[in-house]
Chain A
Amino acid sequence: MNNKAFTKENLWRVAAVLFWLLVWQAAAALLRQPLLLSSPVRVLRRLFALLGQASTYGALGYSLSRIALGFLTGFALGALLAVLAARWRPVEYLIRPLMLTVKSVPVASFIILALVFLTSRKLNSFISFLMVLPIVYGNLLEGLKSKSRQLDEMARMYHVSRLRRLICIELPQLKPALLSAVSLALGMSWKSGIAAEVIGIPMGSVGERLYQAKVYLDTSELYAWTLAILLISMLIEKGLMALMKGAYARLERL
């Protein structure tokens, strides 16, 4: 794509966002019920007000750290199980019902079930772990299964060391599966983690702030927190994807 076409596409994207913001603003102006529908201007003002409060960063830090813990453990276990299942077929058969159950059961059911044996402070980590696990497992297993046997044979014939095989042959082949797993799992873990907080209401979390806004019918704050959650989700996804692509570029230069 050349620069001109790229700029034109970006302009269309910005124009589309502006159009829907205008629709939102017009609907709020027509309804004149900020309790039901807060205008984008009010929401933005509230968001900036939130950004000036130290407690906002405390809540974000609390939620982010716990959800990140769930994401990382889910990612690690999902990757490990995918490697085992790709190597030994019985493992795949054994794990399949478990993964299907986790994927099919509504997240709200898991949250309520988990509250029986977990404190609300541990809930968001556990739920994001649970949501990440089948995504990473499924994507990586597919990636591992579609690995080229021909390249494996080539590496065997040329006595390529295990480490070099991993870095130069296996990881590049897994790149699409890994990137897709990270992109999908990040969004799911963040959203499900916040949903768990809204139900479990742990003190000082983003979920608690959302719940409080709902209880006090503070629609502007509810929207502002939702917008903050969205923006953070986008930032984390973009940041991590850029980091992974950079890591891959470095790996390929080794």
Chain B
Amino acid sequence: MIEMKHIAKAFDGKAVLTDFSLTLTDGITCLMAPSGRGKTTLLRILLGLETPDAGEITGKPDRVAVLFQEDRLMESLTVGMNLRLALGRAYDAVKAEACLAALGMPGSLRLTVSTLSGGMKRRAALARALLYPAPLLVLDEPFQGLDEDTRRLAIAAVRQSAQGRAALVVTHDAQDVALLGGKLVTLQEG
């Protein structure tokens, strides 16, 4: 169980998060909030990339599988190389191919990232997070830029990958939340 307790963060005197608490247990937790309400700051604090002004996080595992808002892939490398780079010894070409196939892009391990469409890059980055063996999965708007069919495939893949581990999925689409299931947390202003 991962707990964020009374987290507060301000930038240049402007409060972004005030007294925010969240408990993550196994399964999916969806975080919904309009733009500019501190979702990214909250995730960065959870990931240890930002220090909160107040509050604490307990139970955070050493390894976190993360999909950032940006794809953060190496454009000059193939999809397979990107996966191998992140997964290291945990990389398994058969599992990687199966995961990509589940996301609607079979046979794409050898494709160079720079040649992919925006939606394919998003799914390649999502595959990286889903395949990474970590007790916590953090996905920031994982379905952005995906069409209806691939979105449904991606949601199914996320549901499957979240079994047996905690997953925090940030989205602003109520339909995604309904399809993902799990808990819903909303972030109010401040």
Chain A interface residues toward B at CB < 8 A: 150-151, 153-154, 156-161, 164, 168-169, 172, 252
List the B side residues contacting A159 at CB < 8 Å.
63, 88
Q: Contact at A160–B70, with CB atoms within 8 Å?
A: no
Could you tell me if A172 and B66 are in contact, using CB atoms closer than 8 angstroms? no
State the main secondary structure of chain A at its contact with B: helix
With contacts A154-B86, A252-B81 taken as known, whether A169 is within 8 angstroms of B49 at the C-beta atoms is no
* A158 and B132 in contact, given A150-B68, A150-B72, A153-B49 (Cβ under 8 angstroms): yes
In the bound complex, CA of A160 to CA of B81 (Å): 13
Q: How far is the CB of B72 from chain A (nearest CB, A)?
A: 4
A157 touches B64 (CB 8 A): yes
Given A151-B74, A172-B74, A172-B76, A160-B49 contact (CB < 8 Å): no
Nearest to A151 among chain B residues (CB) is: B72
Q: Is B77 an interface residue (CB 8 A)?
A: yes
Taking A158-B66, A172-B77 as known contacts, 18 extra A-B pairs with beta carbons closer than 8 A to each other, sorted by chain A number, are A151-B72, A151-B74, A153-B72, A154-B68, A157-B66, A158-B87, A159-B88, A160-B85, A161-B88, A164-B85, A168-B74, A168-B77, A168-B85, A169-B74, A169-B85, A172-B76, A252-B76, A252-B81
A157 touches B47 (CB 8 A): yes
Using CB atoms and an 8 Å cutoff, list the residues of chain B in contact with chain A. Answer: 47, 49, 63-64, 66, 68, 70, 72, 74, 76-77, 81, 85-88, 128, 132
Chain A residue, CB-CB nearest to B112: A252
B17 CB, nearest partner CB in chain A, Å: 19
9 intermolecular pairs with C-beta atoms under 8 Å apart:
A150-B70, A151-B72, A157-B64, A158-B85, A158-B86, A159-B63, A160-B85, A168-B74, A172-B76
Which residues of the partner chain A approach B81 to less than 8 Å between Cβ atoms? 168, 252
What is the bound-complex CA distance between A41 and B68, given in angstroms?
A: 65
What residues on A are CB-neighbors of B49 within 8 Å? 153, 156-157
* Closest-CB distance, B182 to chain A (whole angstroms): 22
**Which residues of chain A are near B132, meaning CB under 8 Å?**
158
The closest CB in chain B to the CB of A172 belongs to: B76
- B100 → A minimal CB distance (Å): 18
Cα–Cα distance between A151 and B66 once the two chains are bound (Å): 13
List 6 tightest A-B contacts by C-beta distance, closest first.
Answer: A158-B86, A154-B72, A157-B66, A168-B85, A150-B72, A172-B76
Q: Which of A153, A154, A156, A252 has the most CB of B within 10 A?
A: A154
